[in-house]
Structure 1
Amino acid sequence: MKETSTVGLNRSLGLWSALSLVIGTVIGSGIFFKQASVLQMTGSTNLALLAWLLGGLITLADGLTLSEIGAQIPHTGGLYQYMTHIYGEFWGFMSGWMQVIVYAPSIVGSIAGYLGLLMVNFFGVSSFWKAPIAIVTIVLIAVLNMLENRYGATFAIVTTICKLVPIVVIIGFGLFFGHESALGETITSVHQSMGNFGVAVLGTIFAYDGWILITNLGGEIKHPEKLLPLAIILGISIIIVLYLGVTYGIFRSMSATRINALGENATAYFATSAFGVWGGRLINIGIMISIIGALNGKIMSFPRIYYAMAAKHQLPFAKHLGRLNAKTHTPVVATLTLLGLTAAMILTIDTDRLSELCIFVMYSFYIAAFVGVFILRRRHGGQPRGFHTPGYPVVPIFAIVGTGFVVISELFSDFTGAAASMVVIALGMPLYFYLKRKYRDTHDPDVI
């Protein structure tokens, strides 16, 4: 198919598409497995619910804060564009470099690998097929997202609806038929040895992560100054309700002791006991669909960072990565690049560990973006433009403190990983200065 760099992205995504991408990208497998781990870390069902709520409120503060920036800078590339606009092209490059080289392929590879593991267990085949299944899955999703963006958006809507079915069933059964009522129960032995409310909140924050990827599609959302903030805020709010609902439903249906003993199998046990063997299998199918939906959101959004950076000549082979397909108006080469890097990582390294190494740097960039709200207001004479964060300045400060908690926790719990992520950042510096010198006389096109 003929391609040309003069082709523009289709600004065709409406509220439902954007909302589905927020919800679908965040909700993967965590909602089905994390109830026991959060309970173990808090030692109390009430504290576990509070941890889920606090993690959600921190995430909502993040979303409210970033929405003010996104409404002012509604361009393709999200965080990369925000960092560039607020702090200059060097820091924009650094935030983009970390994402395109390590974070994007490793997070996609990690999720795809977990899906492969679930599938080999579900169908009872050899573990040899884990990697091939993972790669085939991302290839199929990537091909879908090389078509017009409405196809990926429609798939996001369908998978989001499908993943909501088992979630609503769990919540409904717990509310109306649950009889164990673990609410108020404690696990004394676990609380004494492992209880750590801060670690539990940290775990829930990670479960809420992924909503920011919708900002990568800012150049394809209709009226982004209005719809982008609305999709982020509504999406995060719905996710908070769903996470609390599932946790509450399980606590209403099983004792705290049993949940603790079953660990990650608590939800599957609940489904089997409530609906029989087929109930457990349907939950597993729901989890796999949920993961596929999360993969779709990531594979749809991440290539936009490659495209945005290439359009500003901040990546090698920028001429190719910055092209859009003439018929589909999608970044096909960028999508293929993400696909190739991900497949290589799945076959050669531990993508789970590699994605964990990115947490320290990525959340540091989040903090910088949140601070950017104050910087932009100062530039504009203290007044917001377009959407303004409710509760300013308290909400942005809450977002900064909450995200700072993640960064500090990672620094103390995984100093080696934090240092390794800084090394990756440092490796991008020579490339930045090389490309800057090479294209110093080039007038960079605007990315919309």
Structure 2
Amino acid sequence: MKNTDTPHLQRSLGFTSAISIVIGTLIGSGIFFKQGSVLENAGSSSMAIFAWIFGGLITLTGGLTVAEIGAQMPETGGLYAYIENIYGRLLGFLSGWMQIIVYGPAIIASVAGFMSILMVNFFGLGPEWKIPLAVITVIGIGALNLLENRVGAAFSVITTIGKMIPIIAIIVFGIGWGHYDALGQTMTTLTHNHGGFGVAVLATLFGYDGWILIASLGGELKNPQKLLPQAIVGGILIVIAIYTLITIAVLKFMPANQITALGDQAVAHLATSAFGPLGGKLLSAGIIISMMGTINGKIITFPRVVYAMAKRQDIPFAKTLTYLTPKGKSPVLATGFIILLATIMMFLFDTDRLSDLCVFTVYIFYLLAFFGVFILRKRNPNQARPFSTPLYPWVPIISILGGIFVIISEIQNDPAGVLLFVGTVVVGLPILYLVKRYYQGK
């Protein structure tokens, strides 16, 4: 007999919450802070615009491919659950371990790090305040998510609406009042960091990353077979259009060499130049809110992966990490675990490097998921598919080629960082062995 008293996550999230989480998670720091990096590596304004579009298409093909899997496996855990169901416990564990030890904390730390740059400027503080402000913000948003899941989802809706104000302002002013040609500007100076088009695309993928996180809430969506693919595909398409327009707006307002010279301050400079000191501050406040929404989306989702792994007794302290608050049914201790790791990473890693490495690491497992569509269709040819990837098999093939492109580009760009992050993932294997021996011996 089923024990109805066992704590469980609530299926209370609808389409508005789902697509707001996707858009809110995607539109964060990447589009505002990666303009200089993308442009410098691409080498020209035309190639920079193409890099943002190309990165979006890679993301879209990946979203269309994973949406087919997600509609068949509407479970809490997302990528972790998909990889386990397709490839077995070992690879499933590694994908979950990667998300909770490397990718999740790293991406929260990197977004918070970028956000704190704006916060320091906004409040007129010294650079020594960047990490403390980032930590305080992450803890505050984490505390919000210890309430009922609808509270965090509502915050995603509010911040998604709020972030559209600075986005629309930048697009309208840049395109309407800019005096430069967005196409055809060539870089006259390139630094030693110039890595080529592949690294430029890799930088855009940090801006697009997060689309799969809604899958981690599969156990909390009202109708996951229908809502999951709608939220993933619809959200990605909207974000591609927004990112392309913002890039064009920035390039029309400032020459290419000035954008690369300003680096992560390019969009902030546009805001101040366009709207004056007060208007620039208001616009910066909107961007800060945007990033808070991104952090919120990630803090909503990654503790669910911790929760799903702990339920399977795949990680230490499983009983503790599966604890849900009596009223809100929120994974409070799993949330605290993710926040703790993110805080540690803020002190240990450079924000920009961290963003590239976390994208590389997750794409290793994205590739496994992309191949998984072919495996599932062969394994279960007659199984009903609530959502089928359009233009099969070409869309999954493109997503696979895109994933390979990302991995090779980052290996060439930062082999030492790649080795560190891959090593951290592999360390999970002996930990899994010890944990299983412990639980079997009880």
Separation in 1, partners of 2:5, 2:309: 14
Instruction: Confirm or deny: 8 A CA contact 1:324 1:332 kept in the other structure.
Output: yes
Separation in 1, partners of 2:174, 2:334: 44
Q: Secondary structure at the match of 1:234?
A: helix
Matched pairs, number? 438
Structure 1 stretch displaced more, 199-208 or 252-261: 252-261
- TM-score, scaled to structure 1: 0.91
Instruction: Confirm or deny: 8 A CA contact 1:5 1:324 kept in the other structure.
Output: no
Name the aligned partner's letter for residue 65 of structure 1.
Answer: T
Separation in 1, partners of 2:94, 2:131: 31
Matches within 5 A, 1:155-194: 155-190=155-190, 194=194
For the pair 1:219 / 2:222, whether they are aligned, the reply is no
Match of 1:229 in 2: 229
RMSD between superposed Cα atoms in Å: 2.4
Match of 1:60 in 2: 60
For the pair 1:151 / 2:151, whether they are aligned, the reply is yes
Matches within 5 A, 1:178-327: 178-190=178-190, 194=194, 196-327=196-327
- TM-score, scaled to structure 2: 0.92
Name the aligned partner's letter for residue 210 of structure 1.
Answer: G
Q: Secondary structure at the match of 2:329?
A: coil
Match of 1:445 in 2: none
Name the aligned partner's letter for residue 328 of structure 1.
Answer: G
How far off is 1:272 after superposition? 2.5
How far off is 1:428 after superposition? 1.4
Separation in 1, partners of 2:5, 2:358: 31
Name the aligned partner's letter for residue 226 of structure 1.
Answer: K
For the pair 1:350 / 2:349, whether they are aligned, the reply is yes
Instruction: Confirm or deny: 8 A CA contact 1:102 1:354 kept in the other structure.
Output: no
Structure 1 pair 370/166, CA: closer, same or farther in 2 (3 Å)?
same
Separation in 1, partners of 2:137, 2:148: 19
How far off is 1:317 after superposition? 1.3
Separation in 2, partners of 1:441, 1:229: 42
Match of 1:129 in 2: 129
Name the aligned partner's letter for residue 228 of structure 2.
Answer: L
Structure 1 stretch displaced more, 300-309 or 329-338: 329-338
For the pair 1:120 / 2:120, whether they are aligned, the reply is yes
How far off is 1:388 after superposition? 0.3
Structure 1 stretch displaced more, 65-74 or 354-363: 354-363
Q: Secondary structure at the match of 1:276?
A: helix
Gap regions ≥5 residues in structure 1: 443-448
Separation in 1, partners of 2:113, 2:49: 30
Separation in 1, partners of 2:193, 2:419: 29
How far off is 1:422 after superposition? 2.8
Instruction: Confirm or deny: 8 A CA contact 1:42 1:191 kept in the other structure.
Output: no
Structure 1 stretch displaced more, 385-394 or 257-266: 257-266
How far off is 1:415 after superposition? 2.0
Q: Give the 4+ runs in structure 1 shifted more than 6 A.
A: none
Matches within 5 A, 1:427-446: 427-440=427-440
How far off is 1:114 after superposition? 3.3
How far off is 1:96 after superposition? 0.9
Structure 1 pair 153/361, CA: closer, same or farther in 2 (3 Å)?
same
Identity of aligned residues (%): 53
Matches within 5 A, 1:394-433: 394-433=394-433
Structure 1 pair 253/339, CA: closer, same or farther in 2 (3 Å)?
closer
How far off is 1:186 after superposition? 2.5
Instruction: Confirm or deny: 8 A CA contact 1:268 1:284 kept in the other structure.
Output: yes
Instruction: Confirm or deny: 8 A CA contact 1:103 1:355 kept in the other structure.
Output: no
Instruction: Confirm or deny: 8 A CA contact 2:145 2:300 kept in the other structure.
Output: yes
How far off is 1:5 after superposition? 7.9
Matches within 5 A, 1:369-384: 369-381=369-381
Instruction: Confirm or deny: 8 A CA contact 1:34 1:264 kept in the other structure.
Output: yes
Separation in 2, partners of 1:177, 1:425: 48
Separation in 1, partners of 2:418, 2:258: 36
Instruction: Confirm or deny: 8 A CA contact 1:37 1:263 kept in the other structure.
Output: yes
Structure 1 stretch displaced more, 348-357 or 281-290: 348-357
Structure 1 stretch displaced more, 192-201 or 23-32: 192-201
How far off is 1:242 after superposition? 0.4
Separation in 1, partners of 2:335, 2:187: 47
Separation in 2, partners of 1:132, 1:275: 29
Structure 1 pair 106/137, CA: closer, same or farther in 2 (3 Å)?
same
Instruction: Confirm or deny: 8 A CA contact 2:100 2:306 kept in the other structure.
Output: yes
Deviations 1:310-351 (A, max 9, x none): 1111111111211222210111121122223333444x5226
Structure 1 pair 311/413, CA: closer, same or farther in 2 (3 Å)?
same
Instruction: Confirm or deny: 8 A CA contact 1:61 1:399 kept in the other structure.
Output: yes
Separation in 2, partners of 1:344, 1:210: 21
